[in-house]
Amino acid sequence: MPQDYTLPIIIGYDAVTLREKVDLLAAGQRLDELGELRSLSALNEKIALLRLIGRLDEAFDMANAALRQARFTGSREELAASRIRRAQVMQFQGKLDEAASELTHCVLEAETHEWSAVAAFARENRGKVLFEQGDLEGALADLTAAVFLREKAGASVEHLEGSLLAVAVVESFIAERGQAR
């Protein structure tokens, strides 16, 4: 369900922060191409691009607009995906508790309705928030669940790559912490 429009713009993942590495030129060009488009899919892509290039206030405003549009014209599944995108922006703004709370609601709703792709999207992002909060075990549980949910939803290797890397990074942090004791 949640499409990842940014895969060609993401050039890797930071093995310390779990955040995406971005081709800034390509991201800027894609934003220019999208121009003033206001469809829900265009708004979702703009939110991701703005977040990735660090224009967080604009991304948050656009996420709220997409949320309103999804509430009035989309399905409940699209609304949940919009809430996840807004929570991603909150995470990047440093609002970790708010992002975690929003993502928890999204995980529960998506799993209740068996929306595997949306549940994976929510779990992966909640895992990243938990990682930033220092809850490595919680992060590992969510990120591992995201991998299984993505596989269940038939995700491509490219979509699984980021999730698998995140699992490996968190496992290495847990192992390092165990050795330090």
Angle at 95 between CA 91 and CA 97, to 5 degrees: 100
At 1 the pLDDT is 43
Lookup result for tokens 């895992």 = 127
Q: In 10 A of CB 94, how many CB atoms?
A: 10
Q: What is the 3-state secondary structure (H, E, C) of the chain?
A: CCCCCCCCCEEEECCCCCCEEECHHHHHHHHHHHCCCCCHHHHHHHHHHHHHCCCHHHHHHHHHHHHHHHHHHCCHHHHHHHHHHHHHHHHHCCCHHHHHHHHHHHHHHHHHCCCHHHHHHHHHHHHHHHHHCCCHHHHHHHHHHHHHHHHHCCCCHHHHHHHHHHHHHHHHHHHHHHHHC
181 residues of the chain, pLDDT tens digit each: 444 555 579 898 898 899 999 999 999 999 999 999 999 999 999 999 999 999 999 999 999 999 999 999 989 999 999 999 999 999 999 999 999 999 999 999 999 999 999 999 999 999 999 999 999 999 999 999 999 999 998 988 877 888 899 999 999 999 998 887 7
Nearest Cα to Cα of residue 88 among 116, 47, 55: 47
Domain ranges of the chain: 10-180
Q: Taking the CA of residue 139 as centre, how many other CA atoms within 13 Å lie in the half-sphere pointing to its CB?
A: 23
Please tell me the class of the 10-180 domain: mainly alpha
User: Residues 179, 168: contact at Cβ < 8 Å?
Assistant: no
- What tens digit of pLDDT does each residue of 123-174 get? 999 999 999 999 999 999 999 999 999 999 898 887 788 889 999 999 999 9
At 180 the pLDDT is 78
Give the Cα separation of 4 and 2 in Å (integer). 6
Average pLDDT of the chain, as a whole number: 93
User: Residues 139, 130: contact at Cβ < 8 Å?
Assistant: yes
pTM across the whole model: 0.92
At 159 the pLDDT is 79
